[in-house]
Amino acid sequence: MSEKPSNEAKRRRARWPVFLLLLPVLAVLWIPSYNSVEPQLAGIPFFYWYQLLWIVISAGLTLFAYLTGE
Amino acid sequence: MNWTIVTVFVVLFGTVTILGFAAARWRPGDMDLLHEWGLGGRRFGTIVTWFLLGGDLYTAYTFVAVPALVFGAGAIGFFAVPYTIIVYPFVFMVFPRFWSVAHKHGYMTAADFVRGRYGNRWLALAVAITGLVATMPYIALQLVGLQVVIGAMGVGGQGLWGDLPLIIAFLILAAFTYTSGLRAPAAIAVVKDVLIYATILAVVIVIPSELGGYGKIFAAVAPAKLILAAPTAASLGAYGGYATLALGSALALFLYPHAMTGVLSANSRHVIRRNAAMLPAYSIVLGLLALMGYMALAAGVAKNPLYADGFKQFGSTFAVPALLMASFPDWFTGVAFAAIGIGALVPAAVMSIACANLFTRNIYKEMIRPDCSDADESRMAKIVSLIVKIGALVFIILLPLQYAIQLQLLGGIWIIQTLPAVIFGLYTRWFDPRALLAGWAAGIATGSWMAGTLAFKASVFPLSVFGYTVPGYAALYSLIVNIAVATVMSLILNAAGGERRDETVAADYR
């Protein structure tokens, strides 16, 4: 019986990183935030490198959710 | 005909053919059992699943069509990138539940799950038929990738002779899928990916230096195409299309039977969770490939008389092959072409297996021969996988390419209509199966009508809300209709009461 509360606490702790996964979804759907040419990176317009960057951030957040979950 | 390119291509293609047949002996299983043939015995670990899903989802058609769209239409074609960004958080949260319940009850398809969850064979049949109809034109389109590279090599002549290389490639594919089942594309996917990653690495290093840097490449793009058209007082403009295409495509992707097959062949739910973090590596490749559309613009391949015939025959899908031939020595062009050609085999194999599983489990066994034995079931699936592929081949050879593209576009709109039954079903049994069926029908009708008003040429519907135009992906708009109908009808039917069948329990999903 004494284990039960700690299990529940564990589960609660493991839940919040999953909600971080909404960040990349909101970021790429909010088009006005990145629909511009400047600032460029090595000649690549912002529109392109910013979205490519979110692939990496999203993968990182998913990895974090994986490591802290279940 | 360029002998160096052809030789490298044929050698690599021959290697994967042998690999495809040999795959039957990889972690051998009894091929008279459908889950051994059609799901690789549900034994694939993290790495194999990564290769299989990567090869399965990032298809040859994607690799040709996405850069072609960027080449022709500019920034809007880049929606493939936010699409793949949205899809993995969704997969991470939702699909481990699907894997668990399928593992517990031995489900092999989404329709199997719907049958068990709702106890309604008609809803399951609707899900199965939607999956079949949405996937078949997709298989046909895989041939386009193959066709374009074969055409670029200058192999084949006029009429039926011109199609002979394609027919040979497809017969090879059909044969090893028949003997090795899902193990064949899983093994081949490894080779394909090594080739794809080598190609993309060379592309991002070599081509920009040949063209004078990325600044020069983007300078070749018309300023109006470089970013999305901003909203006006009357319309949300390209913003609506871009965001809804990304979101709708992401929601639809894993409802496709071939994606489900990839998920269910994994040996644990953690394989799915790990892959949601690992598969974005392919998204990077896709994003870089999309930029090849601009590289092709900057390299001026469309104006090069060498490639005039190719562009005349294949349109903007010829941009990538032309760019590769213009930028690389022949032997490496052969490697890159093989990557695209073999890249067509993996998804075509998985898609035909997924169709075979669906037909056998949810139409043949459910509706026609409930008493069939395990061996009958497996034999039937193998035969269906052949029929599906031959159908795709005949379709692409005899009918205009435009039909396959239009059907694939409709397929995306149709497959998303199974979302309420499948995805909501993973969380709640609140919806009534009859309501879900009505919602499905309403969604299919609305989506098809919207695509019809666009003459089946586009999927972004200009919805008018109080005089303001909000262009959006027809799949997403019709899904909203679907969910509304299913919700209202469930409220009514649930209030009326009655028996509720469900063979699953909450613990099955964890």
* Percent of residues, chain B, with pLDDT higher than 70: 99
Determine whether the interchain pair B291/A48 forms a contact, defined as Cβ–Cβ distance below 8 Å: yes
Determine whether the interchain pair B246/A24 forms a contact, defined as Cβ–Cβ distance below 8 Å: no
Please tell me whether residue A41 adopts helix, strand or coil conformation: strand
Q: Which of B79-83, B301-305, B416-420, B505-509 has the lowest mean pLDDT?
A: B301-305
Treating both helix axes as pointing N-terminal to C-terminal, what angle do B280-299 and B60-73 enclose, rounded to 10 degrees?
50
Confidence of residue A28 (pLDDT cuts 50, 70, 90): very high
Task: Tell me which chain B residue has its CA closest to the CA of residue A56.
Answer: B280
CB contact residues (below 8 A), chain A span 4-63, against chain B: 18, 21-22, 24-25, 28-29, 31-32, 35-37, 40, 42-45, 47-48, 51-52, 54-56, 58-59, 61-63
Confidence of residue A58 (pLDDT cuts 50, 70, 90): very high
Task: Tell me which chain A residue has its CA closest to the CA of residue B239.
Answer: A31
Please state, in angstroms and rounded to a whole number, the distance separating the CA atoms of residues B385 and B60.
Answer: 20
Tokens at B14, concatenated = 């021959």
Please state, in angstroms and rounded to a whole number, the distance separating the CA atoms of residues B392 and B383.
Answer: 14
- Put simply, whether B284 touches A (Cβ < 8 Å) is yes
Instruction: Give the tens place of pLDDT for each residue, B377-393.
Output: 888 899 999 888 888 88
Select from B218, B274, B276 the Cβ nearest to the Cβ of A45: B218
Flag whether pLDDT at A10 surpasses 60. no
User: In the 8-state DSSP scheme, what is residue B363?
Assistant: I
The pLDDT, as a whole number, for residue B161 is: 67
Flag whether pLDDT at B155 surpasses 80. no
What residues of A are in contact with residue B85 (Cβ under 8 Å)? 24-25, 28, 51, 54-55, 58
The pLDDT, as a whole number, for residue B87 is: 92
Contact assessment for residue B188 and residue B407, using Cβ atoms and an 8 Å cutoff: no
- Put simply, whether B81 touches A (Cβ < 8 Å) is yes
Give burial (CB, 10 Å; 0-12/13-18/19+) of B14.
exposed
Flag whether pLDDT at A3 surpasses 70. no
Tokens at B107, concatenated = 């489900």
Place of tokens 């969850």: B117
Q: What is the predicted ipTM?
A: 0.87
Helices (H), chain A: 3-20, 22-29, 46-68
Confidence of residue B244 (pLDDT cuts 50, 70, 90): very high
Confidence of residue A5 (pLDDT cuts 50, 70, 90): very low
In this prediction, residues B326-348 reach a mean pLDDT of 89
Contact assessment for residue B152 and residue B326, using Cβ atoms and an 8 Å cutoff: no
The pLDDT, as a whole number, for residue A2 is: 42
Separation of CA B218 from chain center: 29
- Put simply, whether B213 touches A (Cβ < 8 Å) is yes
- Put simply, whether B78 touches A (Cβ < 8 Å) is yes
Determine whether the interchain pair B82/A59 forms a contact, defined as Cβ–Cβ distance below 8 Å: no
What residues of B are in contact with residue A48 (Cβ under 8 Å)? 78, 287, 291
Q: How far is B84 from chain A (nearest CA, A)?
A: 8
Please tell me whether residue B19 adopts helix, strand or coil conformation: helix
Look at B85 and B455; give whichever has higher pLDDT: B85
The pLDDT, as a whole number, for residue B9 is: 87
Select from B215, B239, B287 the Cβ nearest to the Cβ of A55: B287
Confidence of residue B159 (pLDDT cuts 50, 70, 90): low
What residues of A are in contact with residue B247 (Cβ under 8 Å)? 29
Confidence of residue A1 (pLDDT cuts 50, 70, 90): very low
Select from B216, B242, B287 the Cβ nearest to the Cβ of A52: B287
Determine whether the interchain pair A66/B247 forms a contact, defined as Cβ–Cβ distance below 8 Å: no
Tokens at B313, concatenated = 């025959």
- Amino acid identity of B371? D
Confidence of residue B72 (pLDDT cuts 50, 70, 90): confident
Confidence of residue B107 (pLDDT cuts 50, 70, 90): very high
The pLDDT, as a whole number, for residue B434 is: 94
Flag whether pLDDT at B285 surpasses 50. yes
The pLDDT, as a whole number, for residue A7 is: 52
Please state, in angstroms and rounded to a whole number, the distance separating the CA atoms of residues B318 and B332.
Answer: 18
Flag whether pLDDT at A13 surpasses 60. no
- CATH C-level class of B3-509: mainly alpha
In this prediction, residues B391-418 reach a mean pLDDT of 84
Select from B78, B89, B278 the Cβ nearest to the Cβ of A24: B89
Altogether, the residues listed in chain B come to a count of 510
Q: H-helix or E-strand containing B263?
A: helix B257-264
Q: Could you tell me which of B196, B458, B466, B133 has the C-alpha nearest to residue B339? A: B196
Q: How far is B372 from chain A (nearest CA, A)?
A: 40
Flag whether pLDDT at B426 surpasses 90. yes
Task: Tell me which chain B residue has its CA closest to the CA of residue A35.
Answer: B227
Determine whether the interchain pair A43/B287 forms a contact, defined as Cβ–Cβ distance below 8 Å: no
User: CA geometry: angle at B193 spanning B79 and B246, to 5°?
Assistant: 15
Q: How far is A27 from chain B (nearest CA, A)?
A: 9
Q: How far is B235 from chain A (nearest CA, A)?
A: 15
Q: What is the DSSP string of B137-189?
A: HHHHHHHHHHHHHHHHTT---SHHHHHHHHHHHHHHHHHHHHHHTTHHHHHHH
Q: How far is B276 from chain A (nearest CA, A)?
A: 7
The pLDDT, as a whole number, for residue B59 is: 83
The pLDDT, as a whole number, for residue B301 is: 87
User: CA geometry: angle at B450 spanning B444 and B451, to 5°?
Assistant: 90
Determine whether the interchain pair B239/A31 forms a contact, defined as Cβ–Cβ distance below 8 Å: yes
In this prediction, residues B26-36 reach a mean pLDDT of 82
Report the half-sphere exposure of A70 (CA within 13 A, side-chain side): 15
The pLDDT, as a whole number, for residue B455 is: 83
Instruction: Tell me which of A51, A53, A57, A64 to substitute to probe the interface with B (most B C-beta atoms closer than 10 Å).
Output: A51
Flag whether pLDDT at B457 surpasses 50. yes
The pLDDT, as a whole number, for residue B263 is: 93
- The domain locations on chain B are 3-509
The pLDDT, as a whole number, for residue B130 is: 95
Treating both helix axes as pointing N-terminal to C-terminal, what angle do B330-358 and B60-73 enclose, rounded to 10 degrees?
110
Q: How many CB atoms lie within 10 A of CB B265?
A: 28
Q: Which of A16-25, B163-172, B239-248, B476-485 has the lowest mean pLDDT?
A: B163-172
Contact assessment for residue B123 and residue B378, using Cβ atoms and an 8 Å cutoff: no
* Percent of residues, chain B, with pLDDT higher than 90: 34
How many A-B residue pairs are in contact by the CB < 8 A criterion?
Answer: 103
What residues of A are in contact with residue B241 (Cβ under 8 Å)? none
**Distance set, CA B462 to CA B41, B74, B472 (Å):** 46, 20, 6
Confidence of residue A51 (pLDDT cuts 50, 70, 90): very high
Please state, in angstroms and rounded to a whole number, the distance separating the CA atoms of residues B389 and B395.
Answer: 10
Q: How far is B282 from chain A (nearest CA, A)?
A: 10
- Put simply, whether B311 touches A (Cβ < 8 Å) is no
